[in-house]
Chains A and B, each alone.
Chain A
Amino acid sequence: MNSLTRTENQALARTVLELDVNNHAGVMSHVVGLFSRRAYNVEGILVMPVGSGATSRIWLLVNEDERLDQMVKQVEKLEDVLAVRRHGAEHEVFVRLEEFFV
């Protein structure tokens, strides 16, 4: 599907989304489903429980396009999403992971 080269891909404007969610088996499906059914690719994804494990944090790396504002609003509507924060591509959460993807 994605015919962009790695360098081209990296040149696209990126956004990092940080989601606080309830930690249960269905929550990833809910979040990712919003993107997949709009054919909006999620470039990177990272999830870990926080604190006691009742909630998790999901980090998403997505390309910016004109649908992003609508995407964020849709994510905010999910029952199990407690908060959404937007960061620029300079956010280092995925950058620091790059060593695992060489």
Chain B
Amino acid sequence: MPKQTPETLTGAQIVVRLLERQGVRTVAGIPGGAILPIYDALSKSEIHHVLARHEQGGGFMAQGMARATGVPAVCMASSGPGATNLLTAIADAKLDSIPLVAITGQVPKPMIGTDAFQEVDTYGLSIPITKHNFLVGSADDLLTVIPRAFRIAASGRPGPVLVDIPKDVQNQLVDVDEWPAPGCADVVPPPDGELIERAAAMINAAAKPVLYLGGGVVHSGAAEAAVALAQKARLPTVMTLMALGAMPVDHVLSLGMLGMHGARCTNLALDECDLLIAVGARFDDRATGKVAGFCPQAKIIHIDIDPSELDKIKTAHVGIAGDVRTVLELLQPVIESPQRHAWLARVASLKADHPLRMPGIDDPRTPYGLIRAVANCLDDEATITTDVGQHQMWVAQAYPLRRPRQWLTSGGLGTMGFGMPAAIGASLAEPERTVVCFTGDGSILMNIQELVTAAEEDVNVKIVLMNNSSLGLVFQQQTMFYGERIYASKFKGMPDFIRVAEGFGVPAVDLDKASDPLAALAAALATRGPMLIHASIAMHEQVLPMVPPGAANKEMIGG
């Protein structure tokens, strides 16, 4: 790189310049004393800062941007409570492998360890929930740390990186005569060719194979390759919650979501399969049920970019460490294209006998019906986020997801409060899309303050609030597994959500009061800008089928 005349800059200015050079256009956060130098530098930048109203909201907005695009996104917070408020969003990113760069202010170096005002050990707190973290010791170090943070966040299995920057480092002046290249993902070593051959031989020899897609397929941009492989080798395909959208759910080979709330036919097909081809999936307990009872007769091929996932839960007969898209593309030419009449017929009969039952699908006053009515108003360009609970599972079951990155949900951590700020982030990253957030009356309150951010940013986010006057998933578990002893899951007080939204500056419609709810819904979804759409649903509605916690998937209840 050619030498430029040195510039004398503060650490804060260096941070902002590096973010600009990285191509960051939007960051979300909340300022405070220990990060004010960075905010001062940011005020002179083209970067759009979105002022969240709680750092967790800011973290989830950054997640929404990262999940929608696959590119690392940035959130910021001050020291102490700012940093601790961010932790949940970081932990959530860790469990779902989302590339995030969190920048926190810290008390000045000489005050670290003195219990200074708003001092907290952000570095120590974030070790177990980040892919990597830094406590920056000098302004000079920022020139390596910031690009490295982006590189680590994006490389291999993506994840969150935290950079904690003491205030004196932000103010420190240094001469910069050369700028580092922006951090980008490392090249993944090619997979072992012999393992590819062995995997191909196993696929070719299998009588009853199932392809099992996980979130890694979305992360590596492998959805097309996965569908191509499934089509060529005629592989019935299941998806984890995180992979929904990788294969269009109405594809003939799709068996939809597996696991705790998967269709009975899906879990039964897995129970019978003789080969499981796991791609970018980590055998999560919500997907596998009791592990010993998961695909009990199957040989396993496991393909993952993270070698520590191989053999972690299930020992694979062939474990391939590598970028899943590369591996799938290498497999494509060496697999055969058998007819597979018997197995496909068997799967078809399982589907016919044990389909996903969605009672009320034609009635917009039921959960499934409301979700389907929303889908009927939109095309595949819409992005769907959810909060956590029954509504999340109903949407996972009933929404016709057909596009990778169409579906943004908190899978691993299952964090209530994710949905609305993530939707705001997704909309900021891709303003041309309609973003719909399905939420519950419990979850929405966990980050309700971000309604004002949605109004301020005028994002095209539609919040569909499925109000069952309860923490529905808890209510369901108490009903099913705790002798109907309903405790602490029924709300006694209920906010007037219409007025709450309007109070925050977000228009709202109440489908309960609409004489033609379908028309009211269509009109609301077609109006640009943020909107809250409220719909009551019955408290007793359950997500079925359901695998009882700890049971094998084939022991599912209902459906």
**Residues of A at under 8 Å CB distance from B?**
25-26, 29-30, 33, 37, 69-70, 73-74, 76-79
CB neighbours of B307 from chain A (8 A): 73, 76
Are the CB atoms of B152 and A33 closer together than 8 Å?
no
> Do B308 and A26 have beta carbons less than 8 Å apart?
no
Chain A residues with Cβ under 8 A from B128's Cβ?
33, 37
Give the shortest distance, in Å, between A79 (CB) and chain B (any CB).
Answer: 4
CA distance A26 to B128 in the complex (A): 12
Complex-state Cα separation, A76 to B321, whole angstroms: 14
A8 to chain B, nearest CB (A): 30
Given the interface contacts A25-B135, A77-B306, does A70 sit within 8 Å of B312 by beta carbon?
Answer: yes
Partner of A73, one of B124, B131, B152, B308: B308
B152 CB contact (under 8 Å) in A30, A76, A79: A79
How many Å lie between the Cα of A73 and that of B310 in the bound state? 10
Q: What is the minimal beta-carbon distance from B305 to any residue of chain A, in angstroms?
A: 11
Contacts across chains A and B counted by CB atoms under 8 Å: 26
Q: In the complex where A26-B127, A29-B124 touch, is A74 in contact with B152 (Cβ < 8 A)? A: no
Q: How far, in whole Å, are A10 and B306 apart by their CA atoms in the complex?
A: 34
Asked if residues B311 and A69 are in contact (CB atoms below 8 Å), the reply is: yes
Given A25-B135, A79-B132, residue A70 in contact with residue B127 (CB < 8 A): no
Question: Whose C-beta in chain A lies nearest to the C-beta of B134?
Answer: A26
CB of B179 within 8 Å of the partner chain: no
Return A47 CB to nearest CB of chain B, in Å: 17
List 12 interface pairs A-B (beta carbons < 8 Å), by A numbering: A25-B135, A26-B123, A26-B135, A29-B124, A33-B127, A69-B311, A70-B308, A70-B311, A74-B308, A76-B308, A77-B306, A79-B152
| Interface residues on chain B, size class | 10 to 19
Cα distance, A33 to B125, chains bound together (Å): 11
B308 pairs with A77, CB closer than 8 A: yes
Q: Which residues of A contact B308 (CB under 8 A)?
A: 70, 73-74, 76-77
CB distance from A73 to the nearest CB of B (A): 4
CB distance from A35 to the nearest CB of B (A): 12
What chain A residues lie within 8 Å of B135 (beta carbons)? 25-26
- Chain A residues with CB below 8 A from B133, complex form: 26
Task: Please measure, in the bound complex, the distance between the C-alpha atom of A14 and the C-alpha atom of B311, giving whole angstroms.
Answer: 22
Residues 272-323 of B at the A interface (beta carbon under 8 Å): 306-308, 311-312
Find chain A residues with CB under 8 A from B311 CB: 69-70
**Chain B residue with minimal CB distance to A77?**
B308
B306 touches A30 (CB 8 A): no
B141, chain A: closest CB distance, angstroms: 11
Q: How far is the CB of A45 from chain B (nearest CB, A)?
A: 17
Chain A: minimal CB distance from B204 (Å): 30
Contacts of A78 in B (CB 8 A): 132
Cβ-closest chain A residue relative to B148 = A79
Smallest distance from the beta carbon of A69 to chain B beta carbons, Å? 7
